[in-house]
Chain A
Amino acid sequence: MKIIVAIKQVPERDARIRIDAEGTWIDLQDVEFTLNESDAYALEEALQLKEEHGGEVVVLSAGPERVGKTIREALAKGADRAIHVESDDLAAYDALGVARLLAAAVKDEQADLILTGLQSDDLGLGQTGVILAELLGLPHASLILKIEAAEGGVKVLRELEDGWFQHVELPTPAVLTIQSGNSKLRYATLMGIKKAKTKEVRRVTPLELAAEPEASVVVLERVLLPNKQRTTQILGGSPAEAAAALVEKLRFEVRAL
């Protein structure tokens, strides 16, 4: 089975957030980057499939040079080779634009499966995989927890809302977006990192992919820090009053009831 895993490098979860001079993104100075969480699960799924059925895992990532580090980590965890769509200004592309780049980069790969994470931890659009499927004319399924090989394709476990699940069968090639948390991630090892050094990373530019940014239809105009900070609210009064106040909060602020 040949599997492509699209991965994204995102700012570390606990990165200190300051807004940049243009006010359109965060200041990336001293921000550390890491592999997007659900992409890590997508990679893990791919590696487990490979371990079970053989084949090849190719990681695909778009972004500036620093993305190389995340790509190497993925190779260290067991991916066989990588495609790096190198671009310093991905921000000029909207989700459709990025998906076009990725589609152009993999269209000749003849992969059986293309996996992506469910959504990115930074922009949280949750669309790239699904758009990619549409651009490549492939069937897709999202929020996938588990993949099994089946006659002529795959059978996947899909998460529905409120604790419901569903199996879906798809013919391959197909695109799947992977939900976090189902499998156990592996840690990067020294041996993996050493092996990764000799693995192929193909670098391509948007220009080579002939996918110049078409005018974005959606633009991120500016970003703001929310004024709400996480603080502890002590609910006072008699036990009954405090309990009533808490229920009120859980219903209308947390929306958990």
Chain B
Amino acid sequence: MVPVDVIPSRLLCMSLAGAGVLSEPGHFSWLEKLLLLLLIVLSGTLFWKRFGVVVGKILGARRDAGFRLFPIGKRVWDFFWEVLCQAKVIRERPLPGLAHAFVFWSFLAFALVTLNHVAVGFGIGFLDAAGAFGRVYFWIAGLFALACAVSIAGLFVRRFVVRPVWLARPALPGHEVSYESGIIAGLIFVLMATYLAAFFVGEASMAARLLWWSHTLALLVFLPLVPHTKHLHLILSPVTIFLSRGGFSEIPALDGDEDFGLVTGKDLTQLVALQAFSCVECGRCTEHCPAANTGKSLNPKEIVLGVRSYLNEFGPTAEELLLGKYNAQESAFQCTTCGACEFQCPVGIEHLPIIVGLRRGAVNTGAWEDSHGTKLFLAMERNSNALGLSAMEREKFVQKAELPIFDGTQEYCLWLGCMGGYDPKGREIIRSFVEVMQYLGTSYGVMRKEKCTGDPARRLGNDLVFQELAESNLEAMQQQKVKKIISICPHCVRTIQEDWKAFGAPPEVEHHSEFLARHQARLPQQKTDEKIAYHDPCYLGRYRDVYDEPRAVISAAGTLVEAERNRERSFCCGAGGGLAFLGEETGQRVSHVRAQELVATGATTIGAACPFCNTMFRDALAATGEGAPQLLDIAQIAARSLPSAVTVARIQ
């Protein structure tokens, strides 16, 4: 960053003393006016030549069937918070974020200045530089200009000297750095410098005229560059943020009998097109992507830009397959749906509807041929669970663990899920959680029959299987009069609460961490100084905004330690998006990378809150050799504090 003391001290003194007044050229000749007009028309034409095309492509795309503008409150808030306050930009990358925010705020401040600037050229300037309002306003704008000039210089240095890898597009040769960004930065710098300099020249002097024209020319060059470069986000991203779907990772309902997801250009909707053109190529998404970070070909930024390139080349009505020239099927199926990308994106791009949309397009038409994927779908079709195991196995466990059957009289329906019902380790979590509920005297029962919530099918884009499972479960819940579901699995929770909605009204559902935190006070307190590292499951954190509850459970039992990436920035375990059921990963295993991060905290215990994270880490920790920390679910951590009678019962 440019140190503050570079700011010319003279300027400071002068403006503080009230001596600096913005100088404008005096009278403009008709020749100058004509030239100005011509230049404006030229600049505007060049601008529209590209911008008009972009708008045409966006509007030419299919309408978003489920889109509702109302309720508008959240949209207004998001606009205020993310656009006007630049909150996301700043929070996720504080220093460059702040620099960006200053550039943005200066642009806002300059709106009026620029309007007046051009008006002056036609002799109709409306701000009196010497008047009280003009004086104050120009000063304020001057301060912003200063901040902006410093910021843009800093950003320039970052991009061209520091060169963060995320800004690059390694897949495209020649795109190691974006030179157009350099030009834009230069122009912004010129704009600010010419503005500031005008404080130091004489009113109506030749110098003032020269500055005015330089500023104007910079402006008129800048304008057409905007739609031709990623700086299009200047115009589009506020719209994108305002018009976002709203929900996190919200997968839109299919629209009629001909909609199979994103198959060809015809399936791209206006929102997807708008988002594709809004991407500013900042790479925040890729920086946080577990797939991109472990050597897979998936790169969420390139997914978005792939859609943009598709639109540029083929347009929104093309029959060309989307998974083809610009986006690879293999990449689309490497996504764990962790949501880090969507969460990070400062311009409101919703990656998951796009990635899941591409998967839907491939799966719903049968184009995705993967032996593990097919096995998974067949298992879900036939056995109604992703593991392909017999429902009898679940029944046997229910009997052995003496879990009561839900009959409508109990408060909670305890949802076992595939891991709780079939996985030996998942069953241990269920047993622990049941002990806690018994201790608290909470009444619960399990469904006699339970089918997979459809999560893996949903995330992999198999709408047929997902719909069948969701509908059949919803029907069973209705018959049994289930009002409240509790589950140890964030994937089940999410799918029941959000994704089932497309087919009916799901019962209320909560994750066991929320239940445990709420009843924490009633459990025996047995805090030790054991160091416990907590791993935020994607589907509990980013998807459900539950960060503090599991931490409360852990803090009651030991000393909570945080992994380097935590909460909203938590790094995926690798299981989501149906990937736990597919074949071996290319590159490094995501689970091993994350497990190492957790081990690096020095904790003796790792606290998990998702049976999938649990199974991933169990395997990954075993590979780290002797002395690996123990792995427990928060239910197991909570159950440890119970009087031993209950625990003894468990061991038997």
Residues of A within 8 A of B (CB): 12-14, 16, 34, 184-194
Contact = CB atoms under 8 A, between A and B. Distances in A.
Given A13-B382, A184-B371, A184-B374, A190 B364 contact: yes
A185 B257 contact: no
Interface in B369-383: 371, 373-374, 377-378, 381-383
B315 to A, nearest CB: 23
23 contacts: A13-B382, A13-B383, A14-B391, A16-B395, A34-B381, A34-B382, A184-B374, A185-B374, A186-B366, A187-B373, A187-B381, A187-B462, A187-B465, A188-B381, A188-B465, A189-B363, A189-B364, A189-B464, A190-B462, A190-B464, A191-B260, A191-B366, A194-B257
B390 A193 contact: no
Main secondary structure on chain A at its contact with chain B? loop
A150 B254 CA distance: 45
A188 B466 CA distance: 12
A193 B464 contact: yes
A12 B382 contact: yes
Q: Which of the listed residues A14, A187, A193 has the most CB atoms from chain B within 10 Å of its own CB? A: A187
Q: Which of the listed residues B260, B381, B395, B464 has the most CB atoms from chain A within 10 Å of its own CB? A: B464
Contacts of A194: 257
A188 B464 contact: yes
B364 A187 contact: no
B378 A187 contact: yes
B88 to A, nearest CB: 35
Contact of A187 (B254, B257, B374, B390): B374
Main secondary structure on chain B at its contact with chain A? helix
Contacts of B373: 187
A212 to B, nearest CB: 35
A185 B388 CA distance: 15
B390 A13 contact: yes
A193 to B, nearest CB: 6
B392 interface: yes
Contacts of B395: 16
A186 B369 CA distance: 8
A193 B260 CA distance: 11
B526 interface: no
Given A13-B390, A14-B383, A16-B392, A190 B463 contact: yes
Nearest to A193: B464
Contacts of B390: 13-14
Interface in B428-479: 462-465
| For the complex of A and B, 3 pairs with smallest distance between CB atoms | A14-B390, A187-B377, A190-B364
Contacts of B392: 14, 16
A122 to B, nearest CB: 15
Contacts of A186: 366, 374
B588 interface: no
Contacts of A187: 366, 373-374, 377-378, 381, 462, 465
Contacts of B462: 187, 189-190
B365 interface: yes
B405 to A, nearest CB: 14
Interface string B629-652: 000000000000000000000000
A12 B374 CA distance: 19
Nearest to B366: A189
A184 B372 CA distance: 11
Given A34-B381, A189-B464, 8 more contacts: A12-B382, A14-B383, A16-B392, A185-B374, A185-B378, A190-B260, A190-B462, A190-B464
B261 to A, nearest CB: 9
A33 B156 CA distance: 65
